[in-house]
Amino acid sequence: MWSMSLYYVATLVAIFFIALIFKGRPSKIKLPPGSKGLPLVGETLQLLMPSYSLDLPSFIKTRIQRYGLIFQTRLVGRPVVMSADPVFNKYIVQQEGRLVEMWYLDTFSKLFAHEGEARTNAAGLVHKYLRNITLSHFGSESLKEKLLPSIDDLARKSILRWTTQESIDVKEAALTMTIEFVAKQLFGYDSDTSKERIGEKFACISQGLLSFPLNIPGTTYHSCLKSRNEVMEMMRAILKERLASPETYRGDFLDHALEDVKTEKFLTEDFILQIMFGLLFASSESTSMTLTLVFKFLSENPDVLEELEAEHYGIVNNREVPNSPLTWTEVKSMKYTLQVINESLRLGNVSLGLLRKTLKDIQINGFTIPAGWTIMLITSATQYNPDTYKDPLTFNPKRWEGMEPDVIAKNFMPFGGGTRQCAGAEFAKVLMSVFIHVLVTEYRWKKIKGGEIARTPILAFKNGLHIKVEKKNC
């Protein structure tokens, strides 16, 4: 990532120009409590101040204490209402297309090359199509009937390859593993034959997640866009090859989408490329970070690792045929594994929250959130609520035993919520479950260096998490 000095200079420049063109509207309505911060700057720099723990950034904690669970601020020239109220947050995610729409930071909008309302917000039939085609290739049925053996093979080959290295950075290695697998399912990418190292491209892209959209050489954002364009050109070349040889049908996501162009008027070649890029991005970043957290938490909690090993050795020992492949029934029996994954997702809070833009004025607790404002649903705050999660900063997978579904729905949204809940959520959990199964039954590891948390405010590891992986002698 770029240096702290360059980061703050870029921040100030971006805020200055955005603020010059931003026009607030005068109003006599009663707004949520809060502060607009300094002229031009607002409170952006306070939000971006790094913190070095899994806890909520002090920016959020102090404002909740001062103003309550719902408060206003101003970030990068925009009025933003932040909400840590689980009831209000659940209500908002259910109002997609009525009171709110999905919104992106300028960084994300340009990264995904959104054009027009249908492209940006995937409303109506478009969103339904995107969800259905994603589920058809990465949902439960596809996982059960087709993908499970491939995921098992992926985990085994990846971890075995890690043993040949002196050490690996878990985040980078897990990102490469995930991105290459998803790319293969989408458009037949093969890391053994392709000249493009797609994992390296997305590692560069992930570094520019919250950088300001200053597209000049030397900035993180410039490198991010360059890598994004290279990925898009690679996929475009593959798409052109498919169109040139329609008789060769592979049955993957790209073939499916190209076939649908004949019947779905909104589908274009460019839109298909955007869909695939979005799926690659969404599947790789959160999964790789969560797996990194799993390594961190298991290293720090040997009792959890011991119980996890017991669950997976139990699965292996109960097989009628030794060394038989992992089955769907076995994956669904991994109860404690799912608790470990959920607890890692809860504590990780890879992103600070979900962003929505108001389409109409919204009334809440006697206040009005005006149309056109941004709402940030601080899911990380609800996932640290001590009223729901006792000792919220403690890694305790057992807390998920017997938790009521309604409580989970209101206080646990790592994959979003409402109509926008991630269609790849089960795919991510199955991939991580299978990976953990192979890891704890066949390998051991030790930390070499790193593992220190840093938030700015997106979760990262200050110096990575480097480990040495070895095969067990059994």
Annotated binding residues for heme, written as ranges, equal 422
Give the residue ranges of the annotated binding site: 422
Angstrom CA distances, 209 to 57, 101, 111, 203, 414, stand at 18, 21, 9, 11, 17
| 330 phi, psi to nearest 5 deg | -65, -40
Say if strands 354-358 and 100-102 run parallel, antiparallel, or are unpaired. antiparallel
Nearest to 86 by CA among 403, 381, 456, 354: 381
Cα separation, 130 vs 275, in Å, equals: 8
Report yes or no: 58 and 51 within 8 Å, Cβ to Cβ: yes
Distance CA 452, CA 463 (A): 7
Query: Which H or E run contains 73?
Result: strand 70-75
Report CA 28 to chain centroid distance, whole Å.
38
Rounded distance, CA 142 to CA 427, Å? 9
Contacts of 248 (CB under 8 A, 6+ apart): 242
Secondary structure (DSSP) of 141-166: HHIIIIIHHHHHHHHHHHHHHHTTSS
Helix axes 220-244, 269-300, angle to 10 degrees: 120
Q: Tokens standing for 282?
A: 């969404």
Tell me the C-alpha distance between 69 and 58, whole Å.
Answer: 14
